Chain A
Amino acid sequence: MAEKTRRKVPIVDGLFTWSPDGPRLIATRCPACGSIQFPKSNVCNNPECDHSRPVEECLLSPEGILYSYTIHRYSLPEPFSYHKAPYAIGAVELPEGIIVLGRLAFSDEKALRIGMKVRLKVDKLYENGDTTYLTYFFEPVGGGEG
């Protein structure tokens, strides 16, 4: 089936946007204390927050620094068998001060380095019938060390 006729569906609703002006992770910011959390939540997670105002949805910075990573050599069994090895997962430090885990897109594993700059993208996780399931990836940005 041609790519354009497939329906594109996020693997989990509410984690990311994938609009033409660039994908972003959906988080929550607390206007009372400034605490940021991903994934989004209905309440602030800061134990010292006075909860005087409701939390607001916000979008996280699309670029960050690779904190650590690993490459999986085993595919997962059902019902998660669409996670096929080899696949990489990275932990990425964002300017907001939090570390977010995501799929790490790579072409050359030897080029992966802690400290390198990475950028968010939304891409195909797997296809099933007429549906393409999407998830978020971090991808190395040319320029190397952050």
Chain B
Amino acid sequence: MSESAIVSTAITKWVEAGSPTPILMDRLADVVLQALKEAKMKPGDLDAIICNTTAIPFDSPRNITTSAQLIAHRLAEKIGTHGIQCINVCAACASTAIAFAVANAMIKTGSVRKVLVAGTDNSPRGFYLSGQSILDSDLAASGIKAIGITNPTYWAMWARRRAYEMGVDVDDIKKLMALVKVMHSEYGALNPYARYNKVFTVEEVLNSPVVCDPLHLYMISATSSGAGAAVIADMETAKKITDKPVKIVASTVGSPIYGEPVPRIRSLATVGGNKALKPFTEWRLPIMRAYKEAGIKPEDVDIIECHDTSCFHTINWIDQIMGWEREETDKLIAKKQIRHDGELPVNLSGGTSSFGEAVMAQAFVMVHELFRQLRGEAGPRQAKKKLRIGLCAAYGGYGSYGCIILEKGW
């Protein structure tokens, strides 16, 4: 079985969502050519293109959404190919992370050698109104219509429940979330690709309007628009391209689990009754699988990039990735040990917190950052400690999860 490695990455600057410019496919093609150039390849050298689908809305129930879904095929037509494997991956906000899993699996079987993972997204501003088509009457998806559930509803309830289970005041987790925002914003300010460059104070975060308590406005990521690309090759090819290939040591996919006791985003109820599992098993399982695949333990992870659509997510991801007592996570954050000079740097990209979320394309930010960090190319955001292994964790609606573990390949 071949090993696979990332040989190049590129992302655009993340910008405000909800406007038709910059032109979606033009911007994607630009960032793809940039990644191909770094990989010393032409489009004609590729064996496969894997793209995330998008959250682009349509204005009429008569308009079908295939153009928003067939991004790989549109890209293949736009940059030109000789007849290759084109695959589109849809897993909500975890789409790109799962596109990497597909690419990794294809290379490891030896069926392809050079794969482009690329994608872009644009979405409406504000709350994601995950309504239903008039042609889809599934009761399970009726939460927003019947009771007004949005994504932050879940995040807020999870945060309040965590405080309750730990026996602490809900204001304690509020302060911790504000501190996460502050630290992420420090790195957003140092990242030319981040949409937001303002450094926040704890007071500013806590004084911002409440969206749904305990979540304040500045604890929730905005919706953004952006594009990214990465070129992946088998290790033999990768070593001919670069002397610093970044090995994909694991890339796993998660799903909704029967018995998950925590209400999952977009669901109206849990299942499983007395057979219930530990909270957030769904989040943890793909990470555990990734550790097994990589042959490592949580303490081997040197740096994390996690999908922080709210500041609660950063806290919960650290809980799940490290698998330790929740108090340990709180201590790590309170002692500011997730900064570039800390014990366990988290989201030195600035995170979704500083980028806003280009929904299905968001994992490009995380993979790009880990690729640059492991290669020592992150400039002022570069972690001080010696790095060998980085972990990226993404999650999305309906129980979609992806985990990628990267290791220096030289």
> For residue B140, which residues in chain A have a CB less than 8 angstroms away from its CB?
39, 41
Describe A's contact surface by its main secondary structure.
Answer: loop
Query: In the complex, are the beta carbons of B149 and A101 less than 8 A apart?
Result: yes
**Which residue of A has the minimal Cβ distance to B276?**
A97
Query: In the complex, are the beta carbons of B145 and A98 less than 8 A apart?
Result: no
CA distance A98 to B269 in the complex (A): 7
CA distance A67 to B276 in the complex (A): 15
CA distance A101 to B265 in the complex (A): 11
1/0 per residue, CB under 8 A from A, across B213-231: the answer is 1110000000000000000
Q: Is B261 an interface residue (CB 8 A)?
A: yes
Q: Is B212 an interface residue (CB 8 A)?
A: yes
Q: Total A-B pairs in contact (CB under 8 Å)?
A: 128
Query: In the complex, are the beta carbons of A12 and B148 less than 8 A apart?
Result: no
Q: Is B41 an interface residue (CB 8 A)?
A: no
> For residue A98, which residues in chain B have a CB less than 8 angstroms away from its CB?
269-273
Interface-side segment among B50-58, B155-163, B391-399: B155-163
Query: In the complex, are the beta carbons of B160 and A70 less than 8 A apart?
Result: yes
Query: In the complex, are the beta carbons of A70 and B153 less than 8 A apart?
Result: yes
1/0 per residue, CB under 8 A from B, across A77-119: the answer is 1011001000101010000111111110000000000110000
> For residue A67, which residues in chain B have a CB less than 8 angstroms away from its CB?
157, 161
**Which residue of B has the minimal Cβ distance to A96?**
B273
Q: Is B69 an interface residue (CB 8 A)?
A: no
CA distance A145 to B261 in the complex (A): 21
**Which residue of A has the minimal Cβ distance to B162?**
A68
Q: Is B44 an interface residue (CB 8 A)?
A: no
Q: Is A31 an interface residue (CB 8 A)?
A: no
**Which residue of A has the minimal Cβ distance to B127?**
A76
CA distance A76 to B211 in the complex (A): 11
> For residue A91, which residues in chain B have a CB less than 8 angstroms away from its CB?
157, 161, 263
Query: In the complex, are the beta carbons of B164 and A72 less than 8 A apart?
Result: no
Q: Is B131 an interface residue (CB 8 A)?
A: yes
Q: Which of A34, A72, A99 contacts B269 (CB 8 A)?
A: A99
CB distance from B219 to the nearest CB of A (A): 13
CA distance A11 to B209 in the complex (A): 30
CB distance from B326 to the nearest CB of A (A): 16
**Which residue of A has the minimal Cβ distance to B146?**
A12
Knowing A12-B142, A68-B164, A72-B212 are in contact, say whether A38-B269 is a contact too (CB < 8 A): yes
CB distance from B124 to the nearest CB of A (A): 9
Query: In the complex, are the beta carbons of A77 and B160 less than 8 A apart?
Result: no
Query: In the complex, are the beta carbons of B146 and A45 less than 8 A apart?
Result: no
Which 6 pairs between the two chains have the least Cβ-Cβ distance?
A: A97-B273, A83-B148, A70-B156, A39-B139, A68-B157, A68-B161
Q: Which residues of A contact B (CB under 8 A)?
A: 11-12, 14-15, 34-41, 45-47, 67-74, 76-77, 79-80, 83, 87, 89, 91, 96-103, 114-115, 135-136
A39-B268, A74-B212, A97-B273 known, 12 other contacts, Cβ within 8 Å? A11-B146, A35-B272, A38-B269, A68-B160, A72-B212, A77-B129, A80-B148, A91-B263, A98-B271, A99-B261, A103-B147, A114-B161
Q: Which residues of B contact A (CB under 8 A)?
A: 126-127, 129, 131, 139-140, 142-150, 152-153, 156-158, 160-161, 164, 209-215, 258, 261, 263, 267-274, 276
21 contacts between A and B (CB under 8 A): A12-B142, A12-B146, A36-B273, A39-B140, A39-B142, A39-B268, A45-B271, A68-B164, A70-B212, A72-B212, A73-B211, A76-B129, A76-B144, A89-B157, A97-B273, A97-B274, A98-B272, A98-B273, A103-B148, A114-B161, A136-B146
